[in-house]
Amino acid sequence: MTVSTLALAQTLTGQLSSQETSIAQLQQQLATGKSLNQPSDNPAAVTQVLALSGQASQLTSWQTNADTASSWLGTANQTANSALESMQSAQSLLLQSLNQGAQDPTTYEALGDQLQGVISNLLSLSNTQYEGRPIFAGTSASPQAYDTSGNYLGNGDVPTVVIGPGSGAGQTVGLSVPGTTIFGVGAANVFATLTAAVTALSSGAPTSASLSAALTALNANISTAQQASAVLGDSSQEVASASSSLTTQIASVQSDQADLEDVNIATVTTQLDSEMTNYQAALWAASQAIPETLVKFVAP
C-alpha cells in the first residue's frame, strides 16, 4: 500500500468510525427517549439539567410542606368552626335561661344538663388530632391539649413549615394555633365559663346576675374564638396561594428540563435513517477507493 493510499484509508476509517459513533448515539437516544445519556453528550446541557433538577427538588419539597400545612389547617379550621357553633349553642341556652319568667327548677336543671353536653363536646374538639398529634397543643409533646377539667396542657408556640423562598429560613406558615387562642386562657376560658353556668343552673334557682355574668364571659370567649378562626383562615389562604404558585413553577422547571433531555422521536428517527444511508454510502465509497484493503477496516 502506498503512502497516499494509506492516508486515504486512515481518513476513510476515521469517517466511518465517526459515523458509527453518531449512529450508536442516535440509537441510544431512541431506546431511552433521552438526548442526554452521558455527560459527554452535551456538557453544557447536562449542567443546566442538573441545576433544573436541584431547583425542582427544592420546589417539590416546599410543595410537600404546603400539602401538609393544608391538611393541618383544614382540620384546624373545621374544628374551630365546630367549636364556635358549640359556643353559640351555649349562648342560646344562656339567653333562654335568662327568661326567668318561663323557667322553673326542673327547666333550669335541664338547661344545665344541655350546657354540660356542650362542655363535653368542646373538650372533645379541643383535643382534635391530626396524624396522632393534638393540633391545638402548640409544639408541646403532650398527648392532649386539654385535660378533662379544661386545663391547657400545651404551650403557646405554633408548629410551622417552610412553603417557599423568603428571608431567613424562608416563607413559613403556622400549621394551627395554640388552644388558648380558641378556647380562652386560664380561669377565663370557655370551660370555666360554662362550668360556672352549669353550677348556677343545677341549683334550680340561678340568679340573673350569675347568668348575665356567664353570658358576658361567653361572649368574650366567642370573640376570642372568632379571631383565632380568622387567623386560621388567613393561613389557609396563604398556603393555597403558595401551593398554586409552586405547582406552576414545578411544571415550568420540568418543562425546561424535558426540553433539554427528551428527544423528538420523529426527528431522531429521520436523523438515524440519514446517518445509516450516509454510512452505507461511505462504506461503498471506501470499497471502491481501496478494495484490496477494505476488509481490514470493516472486519470486526
> How confident is the model at residue 106, as a pLDDT?
92
Coil, strand, or helix at residue 262?
Answer: strand
The per-residue pLDDT for range 253-274, each reduced to its tens digit, is 988 877 776 554 555 566 555 6
Nearest to 204 by CA among 107, 291, 80, 71: 107
Stronger pLDDT, 284 or 156, i.e. the higher one: 156
CB neighbour list of residue 89: distance below 8 Å, 6 or more residues apart: 118
pTM summary value: 0.74
Note the helical H segments in 33-147: 43-97, 105-126
The per-residue pLDDT for range 108-138, each reduced to its tens digit, is 999 999 999 999 999 999 999 999 999 999 9
Q: Domain extents for the chain?
A: 52-259, 264-300
Give the whole-angstrom CA distance, residue 33 versus residue 266.
Answer: 11
The maximal CA–CA distance of the chain, rounded, in angstroms, is 129
CATH number of the domain at 52-259, please? Answer: 1.20.1330.10
Answer yes or no: are the C-beta atoms of 79 and 183 closer than 8 Å.
no
Computed over every residue of the chain, the mean pLDDT equals 84
Of the candidate ranges 12-21, 137-146, 152-161, 203-212, the one whose mean pLDDT is the lowest: 12-21
Give the whole-angstrom CA distance, residue 88 versus residue 111.
Answer: 14
> How confident is the model at residue 18, as a pLDDT?
63
Judged against a pLDDT cut of 60, whether residue 3 lies above it is answered with no
Residue 37 has which C-alpha cell? 445519556
Average pLDDT over residues 76-103: 92
Residue 294 has which C-alpha cell? 477494505
